[in-house]
């Protein structure tokens, strides 16, 4: 078959492309990063078009979607394609607002080292997978099942790992937490009665949702408050209580699959997280320079907590690039609180997301004002070169730098290291 991927430079789409090509299919693609979207990209010999959630009628990809409609070519979402790939296989899905990429990576590595040879689709580049997908020979497939655009409703996993539930993707869920919980209930009811749910007992929203589902699937709890799978007998090389929680989920999964604790410990003691997850990019003037993908208040707080754990006596300098007006405005107070343990905060202007965002009466200056309410420590700066030059005057062996956010905020670090 011939597939055309709209948004083919996206992380998940790159994994799908590699998988389809490995299966012998022909794959073409288009992306704003590689020439943009054009009607002529949609040729009559294409059997199926796969689009990202960002490729919709309100985006620049609309010209290709319109052409597909004219030519009567089937268009499916990325999540539908993944479910088709998973048909006939045992799907292990990882869901929740935070930790999906790390848990998926951990699960894939443990199962691989146990000889299960899974196929793993992950939301970031993983060095041990040499990319964003590990293609295995068994009937086990591990995926991240994201709630954005209600994409997880396209999935029917046999095993679900549920990390946390809270307010996020409020462009998809404008009515907030009640609407999010309802979507999770609908999704969890996709788990068959002979399936398994591995859930974090430390999350009250998860427990509330699970009390309302109809599936008879077995539930195993993990977490600091769980009766089992509540501690590690080994030390992780990555810091943070959230990563201990992530590893506890893997303990529960491995126990269910009869994978020995020794394999789990040996694997996770050597764990290298995916790209942009507390990733050390270099050192400047004695200061370590780290980057992280965190973009939600909970993720920012837990990442800064991990920074404090790893560098307890150093000045914590954080550069944050806020992503999406629709996320920042309703969570503004939480964003401000998430920087409580940072010593210096540099904010870039809010990143506008074409096709799924709208500018409203909020700017980074509003966030800056809230952060500075008790202590002056935040500034707004827009130019990466200016930020890099400013940071060079601040960084030394008594400090550490963290860049954090969805957009390429790490380019500030690249400028510092390249002396640009």
Q: Which CATH architecture has domain 279-417?
A: Alpha-Beta Complex (3.90)
Token duo for residue 308 = 């404090």
User: Model's pTM, two decimal places?
Assistant: 0.89
Options 3.40.50.2000, 3.40.50.11720, 3.40.50.720, 3.40.50.620; CATH of 2-79? 3.40.50.720
Contacts of residue 138, Cβ cutoff 8 Å, sequence gap at least 6? 116, 117, 118, 119
- CATH 3.90.190.20 range(s) for the chain read 279-417
- How far lies 415's CA from each of 100, 127, 205, 283, 318, in Å? 30, 23, 41, 12, 16
Cβ neighbors of 370 (< 8 A, separation 6 or more) are: 332, 333, 335, 336
The strand ranges marked E within 12-70 are 26-30, 48-51
Nearest C-alpha neighbor of 304 from the set 232, 401, 193, 380: 401
pLDDT by 10s per residue, the chain, length 420 = 999 999 999 888 999 999 999 999 999 999 988 999 999 999 999 999 999 988 888 888 999 999 999 999 999 999 999 999 999 999 999 999 999 999 999 999 999 999 999 999 999 999 999 899 999 999 999 999 999 999 999 999 999 999 999 999 988 999 999 999 999 999 999 999 999 999 999 999 999 999 999 999 999 999 999 999 999 999 999 999 999 999 999 999 999 999 999 999 999 999 988 888 999 999 999 999 999 999 999 999 999 999 999 999 999 999 999 999 989 999 999 999 999 999 999 999 999 887 677 788 899 999 999 999 989 999 999 999 999 999 999 999 999 999 999 989 999 999 999 987
Q: Where in the chain is the domain with CATH 3.40.50.720?
A: 2-79
Architecture of domain 88-268: 3-Layer(aba) Sandwich (3.40)
Contact 232, 244 (CB under 8 A): yes
State the Cα–Cα distance between residues 355 and 370, nearest whole angstrom: 29
């Amino acid at each position: 078959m011939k597939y055309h991927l709209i948004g083919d430079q996206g992380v998940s789409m790159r994994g799908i492309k590699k998988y389809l090509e490995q299966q012998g299919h022909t794959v073409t693609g288009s992306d704003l990063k590689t020439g943009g979207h054009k009607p002529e990209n949609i040729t009559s010999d294409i059997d199926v078009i796969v689009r990202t959630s960002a490729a919709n009628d309100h985006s620049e990809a609309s010209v290709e979607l319109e052409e597909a409609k004219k030519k009567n070519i089937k268009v499916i979402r990325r999540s539908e394609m993944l479910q088709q790939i998973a048909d006939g296989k045992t799907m292990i899905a990882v869901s929740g607002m935070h930790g999906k990429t790390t848990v998926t990576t951990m699960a894939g590595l443990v199962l691989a080292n146990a000889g299960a040879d899974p196929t793993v689709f992950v939301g970031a580049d993983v060095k041990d997978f040499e990319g964003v997908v590990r293609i295995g020979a068994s009937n086990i497939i591990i995926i991240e099942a994201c709630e954005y655009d209600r994409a997880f409703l396209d999935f029917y996993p046999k095993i679900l790992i549920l990390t946390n539930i809270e307010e996020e993707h409020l462009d998809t869920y404008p009515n907030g937490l009640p609407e999010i919980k309802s979507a999770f209930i609908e999704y969890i009811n996709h788990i068959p009665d002979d399936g398994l749910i591995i859930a974090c007992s430390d999350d009250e929203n998860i427990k509330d949702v699970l009390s309302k589902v109809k599936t008879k699937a077995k539930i195993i709890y993990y977490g600091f408050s769980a009766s089992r799978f509540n501690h590690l007998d080994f030390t992780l090389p990555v810091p943070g209580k959230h990563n201990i929680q992530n590893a506890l989920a893997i303990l529960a999964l491995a126990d269910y699959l009869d994978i020995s604790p020794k394999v789990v410990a040996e694997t996770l003691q050597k764990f290298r997280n995916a790209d942009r997850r507390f990733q050390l990019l270099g050192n400047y003037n004695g200061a370590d320079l780290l980057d992280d993908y965190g973009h939600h208040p909970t993720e920012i707080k837990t990442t800064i907590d991990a920074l404090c754990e790893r560098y307890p006596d150093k000045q914590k300098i954080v550069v944050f690039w806020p992503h999406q007006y629709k996320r920042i405005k309703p969570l503004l107070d939480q964003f401000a609180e998430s920087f409580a343990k940072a010593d210096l905060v540099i904010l870039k202007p809010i990143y506008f997301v074409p096709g799924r965002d709208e500018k409203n009466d909020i700017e980074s200056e509003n966030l800056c004002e809230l952060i500075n309410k008790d202590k002056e420590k935040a500034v707004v700066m827009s130019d990466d070169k200016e930020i890099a030059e400013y940071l060079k005057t601040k960084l030394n062996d008594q400090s550490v730098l963290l860049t954090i956010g969805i957009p390429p905020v790490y380019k500030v670090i690249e400028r510092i290291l390249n002396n640009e």
